[in-house]
Structure 1
């Protein structure tokens, strides 16, 4: 999950940066709308590697780096595992709490709009559904209706340009975009990039609606003056398309900006090339055999004097190797049970002041048995041999698979020997 969130976050940032620097100031509003929505979908799907490019390998041995297991000399305290599980539960509880709050807020906003429709007068003007609201509001639209202040509508004080603006939102189905980004914001509430996308999408909606109004009335200056008159009104409907959203200098500039077909063509082609490259880079799987060689070299070097920091396998290499697995090998009962199994059976030496790290690798074979135990580092007094003894007691695992075929999987297990507190 961490790898997925990291990759999707990187993609979201790249696509958003491209939009801000390369696309936002161009008068290509429809393409920009498609780009923003597609980049969101792309960023969330590419890390799943539904499409993948895998280098050929004659022999596949996938590498998996296990979390560190801390064992005290009494062999009864599994501190690192407990702390890890506690932290995971806390993070999950926070996520679920915020998620539920956002869901409730979203449903309340929907109910508020629905309630307005139920208790308000409805009229149809030129085929458009008009909801007449008693409260002082600016015209805004949602789903298939335009919401307008009843008194101003009866007194014929609603400019035609405002009605045309909201009608453009309805005709172009902008509500679907808003609901989509609201849904993503609820799920990925911890990612600030989603908020930036939401702002960009809503502003682009205004560009699109402004273009429709100006094409229809051909009075840009008059329309800009109208917007300035209502710019001080702070009314904002969260789920609605609202004419008062982000009335800025940039919005006025875009109304009078000249199109350059050649520049637009160049930018559209460049976006296609960049997207293809990102798809290839983030969908490409490393050669597992090559990745394993890198890991072994790093670990073996550590045993002859390299600093302790360099003894652990590189996390990025591990993630790329693990990405080749469709199903990871599994200890009976899950990985937590494996940690408990090792902790229960491992007998640390009673040598006074003995502490440090044991590093061992083993292979989960295609039949689930464990083999090829290698102690890459220990702290003496039989600590490495004891780790091998315990792993040989392990029951068979469920093997990992690629393309529904079992594969050999190399596991790396760091064990830290601690003194009792």
Structure 2
């Protein structure tokens, strides 16, 4: 979600920069209105859009490898309400967000109430196409949908021009634009750019109305009218005739000559910008599925890892490091494992005194380590197993696979515990565990990878308590079957 919000902000900033630099001072007012509303909506949609042609594809020689590991659905477990006294960081974030939404919604309601009070205090008169609200002891002048609010202190000579101005807002339904951005301010109260969008659209509404009215009135007289100081009403979603901060800009636009039609080509700037955004979102979604870590070497005990950005197109430095590690491992007397990996493919080269004993590709398994090349000697792809391992209690089940998954989940939840040390330190996250159900039905080769050893030890303890099972069978013979389970620890 944070990634989505950041992308929305960046896209909105780019669109606003284009508007301010190239379009704001052109007299293509209706085009600019479409631009402001359209680009804001686009900024909300584009982060979700991906184009398959832009995405990096996995070469077929990698995608066709058989998966030797069967991965169960993720199991999420956590503390109970009595175990955790505080909200998690994510829950605090949601709480702050909803408090902000509630506050902005109440503020919006308060501004509606202000309009209601003016409606109650004023004298109402109905006309063709609009309703006039004459407000006592006031010099205000603004419109909201079909209502025109006008202070009784506004001189009679100026009233026709003001009404003509506000009628443009009514006829072109400018209140809908402002109300749209007002609602966006409620749900995106933390986004400063939505306020800028609303400010830009409000200014544009005044340019449009001024332009239309000046066609039927002398520009000089209309400019004098704008130059006078009147009372304003601080309501962000109404079209105000007199607003000090925009008067100078409106006068400048009134004096400005009509833009040449050729300048409409500026709107074509949008095409490469949107194309670039689509390229980014498509490629970014793809890289979310892969780890974009920099090349590095990490040693833990006797394990050596070379992590690369892309298995299929390693850089020269990565190739040199791989060669160096290979030579180093060959010289060692004991068997070692070299893992070259990314998030979607894990290539494991098992070394034994200078000879490559076995090469395996396990797609979708994070850092699943094999002790020796013999670990999967009698393994068979799960989809080809004639008889899957039978969990205790599933002997008579019609769907042994489904029964296995249900029993496994029940076992984990039954034996789960959240160490106090992990709770106090705020440790949570996913622990990936891989283990083997041997030819004799025992649980062996338990390997884990998680955010902290405390959680890893809990998972090892839980898996170690699994009962002996009936082994899986293939072509009438017992076989060993590897399983992978992601278990997520979450503090409530």
Distance in 2 between residues matched to 1:344 and 1:26, nearest whole Å: 63
Residue 136 of structure 1: how far off its partner (Å):
0.2
Distance in 2 between residues matched to 1:45 and 1:387, nearest whole Å: 40
Partner in structure 2 of residue 174 of structure 1: 174
Tell me, yes or no, if structure 1 residue 213 matches structure 2 residue 213. Answer: yes
Larger Rg: 2
Classify 1:347/1:182 alpha carbon distance in 2 versus 1 (closer, same or farther; 3 Å).
closer
Residue 383 of structure 1: how far off its partner (Å):
10
Partner in structure 1 of residue 381 of structure 2: none
Partner in structure 2 of residue 244 of structure 1: 242
2:156 aligned counterpart, secondary structure: coil
Partner in structure 2 of residue 105 of structure 1: 107
Distance in 1 between residues matched to 2:52 and 2:108, nearest whole Å: 36
Contact map agreement 2:168 2:209 (CA 8 A) in 1: yes
Residue 6 of structure 1: how far off its partner (Å):
1.4
Residue 409 of structure 1: how far off its partner (Å):
10
Contact map agreement 2:143 2:239 (CA 8 A) in 1: yes
Kindly provide the CA deviation profile for residues 158-185 of structure 1, in whole angstroms up to 9, marking residues without a partner as x.
3322111111111111100111111010
Distance in 2 between residues matched to 1:222 and 1:344, nearest whole Å: 77
TM-score, normalised on structure 2?
A: 0.57
Classify 1:389/1:21 alpha carbon distance in 2 versus 1 (closer, same or farther; 3 Å).
farther
Please give the root-mean-square deviation of Cα atoms over the aligned residues, in Å.
4.9
Classify 1:393/1:192 alpha carbon distance in 2 versus 1 (closer, same or farther; 3 Å).
farther
Distance in 2 between residues matched to 1:386 and 1:392, nearest whole Å: 10
Tell me, yes or no, if structure 1 residue 124 matches structure 2 residue 122. Answer: no
Partner in structure 2 of residue 7 of structure 1: 7
Partner in structure 2 of residue 143 of structure 1: 145
Q: Which has the higher helix share?
A: 1
2:290 aligned counterpart, secondary structure: helix
Contact map agreement 1:178 1:239 (CA 8 A) in 2: yes
Kindly provide the CA deviation profile for residues 119-172 of structure 1, in whole angstroms up to 9, marking residues without a partner as x.
5322234543211111403211001111112464xx734332211111111111
Which 5+ residue runs of structure 1 have no aligned equivalent?
A: 67-75, 319-330, 333-337, 349-357, 365-370, 395-407, 415-421
Which segment is superposed worse, 179-188 or 106-115? Answer: 106-115
1:148 aligned counterpart, secondary structure: strand
Residue 286 of structure 1: how far off its partner (Å):
4.9
Partner in structure 2 of residue 322 of structure 1: none
Partner in structure 2 of residue 229 of structure 1: 228
Partner in structure 2 of residue 158 of structure 1: 158
Distance in 2 between residues matched to 1:163 and 1:173, nearest whole Å: 15
Question: Which residues of 2 match residues 27-66 of structure 1 at below 5 A?
Answer: 27-49=27-49, 54-57=55-58, 58=60, 59=63
TM-score, normalised on structure 1?
A: 0.65
Question: Which residues of 2 match residues 270-349 of structure 1 at below 5 A?
Answer: 270-284=269-283, 286-287=285-286, 291=290, 298=295, 301-303=297-299, 344=418
Kindly provide the CA deviation profile for residues 366-411 of structure 1, in whole angstroms up to 9, marking residues without a partner as x.
xxxxx9986679999x9978866656779xxxxxxxxxxxxx9997
Contact map agreement 1:123 1:129 (CA 8 A) in 2: yes
Distance in 2 between residues matched to 1:203 and 1:38, nearest whole Å: 17
Distance in 2 between residues matched to 1:289 and 1:5, nearest whole Å: 16
Distance in 1 between residues matched to 2:91 and 2:288, nearest whole Å: 35
Residue 362 of structure 1: how far off its partner (Å):
5.6
Tell me, yes or no, if structure 1 residue 89 matches structure 2 residue 91. Answer: yes
Distance in 1 between residues matched to 2:197 and 2:434, nearest whole Å: 44
Residue 27 of structure 1: how far off its partner (Å):
1.7
